[in-house]
Structure 1
Amino acid sequence: MRLVFLGPPGAGKGTQSEKLSKELNIPHISTGDIFRKNIKEQTTLGIKAKEYMDKGLLVPDDIVVEIVKTRLLESDCKEGFMLDGFPRTEIQAKALDNALKEMGLKLDCVINIEVPSEELISRLTGRRVCKECGTIYHIKYDPPKIEGI
């Protein structure tokens, strides 16, 4: 099964796709995670992406698409995948469609998560990230075990 989860930051794309990923035994693919991995491993695409990110700019579509395409070619995606927050633009959507056609594949489902603005604000303002391990917490829904994170 090949799925795409769309929605604004804080909608729950990552949370829901991670849960479903475990149920279906297919990888949850977050563009943020693949960027961090490519940057850490200093791949050509990771180095290019980092240049934009360090300047506070959005990574151009061509780099984003190439990083995602490369990830989709990995063996664990053979039986399916869940894309979290990708595509974000019409250009990315068309590129994903073309890439899947080249691989002889198509999406099975696109899930758009809608959440009221007030709830999104509550979710996002309560988020905390551990500086040591990168774990994401929420001060109300999933507080860290150690104070001050």
Structure 2
Amino acid sequence: MTVTLSDEAMGLIALFEDETGATARDCVVDEEYDRLVFLVAAGEMGEAIGPGGQHVQSVEQQLDREIKLVEDAPTAADFVASALSPAAVYNVTISENDDRVAYAEVADEDRGAAIGKGGRNIDAARELAARHFDIDEIELT
């Protein structure tokens, strides 16, 4: 699947990669919550965060915006679980009917973390899942 990036997103990815040394596969500019969501290549999350969070904090300070990191995954189910982090996701089932819906099983105590303040975490997960795996919706069970 091809993701088209804006000039702004490409510039943000370049800055992120220069500062962290990690590969960013996508960048969502979330104007509603004044934050950036970077999709980090699988296995590079530690490098993106840096020791004690130094790398990501440096990028946040330079851009004066909150940053959320999501680690890429090879399958739609693993991707949805990663995108809903820090919530513990026990199982993800992808419905292949008319709409592709990801049903994510999340413990009651982690529902708030999966949804995020004002729905921002699940909104970001939905956007990234749609862009990278043609998922139409994510529902928590």
Same fold (TM over 0.5): no
User: TM (normalized to structure 2)?
Assistant: 0.29
Larger Rg: 1
User: TM (normalized to structure 1)?
Assistant: 0.28
Q: Which has the higher contact order (CA 8 A, sep 6+)?
A: 1
